[in-house]
Amino acid sequence: MDIKIVVILSVFVGSLKANAQTNHIHNTLLAINKYECEVDFDFANESLQATCKVEVTNNSNAKVRKLPFVLYRLLTVRDVKSDGTSLSFAQNIRSFEDQVRLQSNFISVGLKKPLLPNQSITLEMEYDGTLHGYTEVGWNYVRDKIDPNFTILRPDCMAYPELGYPSNKINKQFPKANFDYRVSVTIPDSLVAVNGGALVSTNSVNGQTTFEFKNVKGAWRMDIAIAKYGKVAANGLTVYYFKQDSLGAKKVLEALQKTIRLYTNWWGPLNNFKGFSIIEIPDGYGSQADVSSILQSASAFKDSTEIHQAYHEISHLWNVDLKAPSPRWEEGLATFIEYLTIEKLEHREYLNYVTDWFLQVVRREVANDMRLKTVPMVDFGKHGMTDYSYSLGMIAFRILYQTLGDEKFNHSLRAFYKEYSGKEATTEDFIRITKQVSGKDTSAFFNDWFFTTGYIRHLDRQSSFDEIVMTYK
Ligand SMILES: [Zn+2]
């Protein structure tokens, strides 16, 4: 290549990057509140055709003139409208700046007039194309394709437009999505579409059936799976399964019922239970959880010791919302409960083994990430470090469990849920309740594990888990 062209090109790319850097700062305060999507499938041609209405709100204090979206690399936008009028937009297949193999269709929609602070706009985006997974990125579980044997629409394969740039670094700064959705999919009568929300209607015309779904709780992802699904249900719990796994499905449903009974026993009845479902997906597609359902790989339908992710997710139903920015320690609690439930329901010893394992994980994390030397667990959410809540939080909640004892631990959670469910609470509220319920002063423990990084001294001393617990008894 001519040197001049290289220079001109790199100056051009440099200015593009600088532009993206300045524009994105306000734009990461944009949020999607609502999706209304219609998707038609053509299995013979392995293609889909979609119309998605997306409501976007500007939560920044600046005017926004362009809205950025990412969509799967083999999906092409045909039209973007607002109030029935087509808008100008640009779309380009772009590699992520920090993950070259990850390519997406980057769409920039020009608005007729700027979106003012606190204003919302609804865009109607029409797009079509196919899905062919993201295995080239190293995401071996994203093998999504349009196939009558199994098809899935999900954010892992960017099957619907989301706000964002071709940059993981920038996209991480968007707040966690929280939206309502309505999705209808049209497929041949021989197939069934399922979703973790509520089925609103089905309508069959000329051998094609349209399934319409809506969310039952504020959602951060939409998943629609299509296959020859069967269904078993009881008391608001639903299991969607592949026909060959009907026996396993009954066992999964029983396990869900047992789990709900156990937790109700521990923490009291759920307020406002909107249902929970498990959707079977083939092995190798990666289990996922959203607010009211789990995509569960087929292995759990064949082996009942694989169902523990459901324990984790179901326990979240009893969580109290923590005031923003949420510390996110509920992930540590759910992880501890997941393993405690294995012991209680499956009658196999597991907690000691998994605690030692998580202690090693925490040791490694503290050695590898400097931030952990200064950022305490209550600030993990604020700093985008929630991944560490699972490991450190699991250890912390097991210490609390051992310190208070089984009964007072669960009684504390029960009282916390009763007082704050449907409201917002703080970590301090939780501490006050554990103190009230147990009559024990737990402040040394909470200081070391939640409010400071004092816990690190136990790691430095190579203390065993039992030795750590002893210091708080
Ligand atoms: Zn969780």
How many CB atoms sit inside 10 A of residue 201's CB? 9
Q: What is the pLDDT of residue 17?
A: 47
Residue 119 CA to ligand 1 centre (angstroms): 32
CA distance linking residue 393 with residue 306, whole number of Å: 22
Residue 312 CA to ligand 1 centre (angstroms): 6
Q: What is the pLDDT of residue 172?
A: 82
Counts for the chain of helices (H) and strands (E), in that order = 13, 22
Residue 331 CA to ligand 1 centre (angstroms): 5
Tens place of pLDDT per residue across the chain (473 aa): 444 444 444 444 444 444 444 456 667 889 999 999 999 999 999 999 999 999 999 999 999 999 999 999 999 999 999 999 999 999 999 999 999 999 999 999 999 999 999 999 999 999 999 999 999 999 999 999 999 999 999 999 999 999 999 999 899 888 889 999 999 999 999 999 999 999 999 999 999 999 999 999 999 999 999 999 999 999 999 999 999 999 999 999 999 999 999 999 999 999 989 899 999 999 999 888 888 899 999 998 998 888 898 999 899 999 999 998 889 999 999 999 999 999 999 999 999 999 999 999 999 999 999 999 999 999 998 888 889 999 999 999 999 999 999 999 999 999 999 999 989 999 999 999 999 999 999 999 999 999 999 999 999 999 999 999 999 98
Q: What is the pLDDT of residue 446?
A: 98
Cis peptide bond upstream of 376, omega within 30: no
Phi and psi for 281 in degrees, rounded to 5?
-130, 155
CA distance linking residue 448 with residue 442, whole number of Å: 10
Q: What is the pLDDT of residue 26?
A: 64
Residue 224 CA to ligand 1 centre (angstroms): 21
Residue 406 CA to ligand 1 centre (angstroms): 21
Antiparallel, parallel or unpaired: β 30-42 and 180-188: parallel
The full set of domains in the chain, from first to last, is 319-470 (1.10.390.10)
Residue 313 CA to ligand 1 centre (angstroms): 6
Q: Global pTM? A: 0.86
Q: Is residue 318 within 8 Å of 303, Cβ to Cβ?
A: no
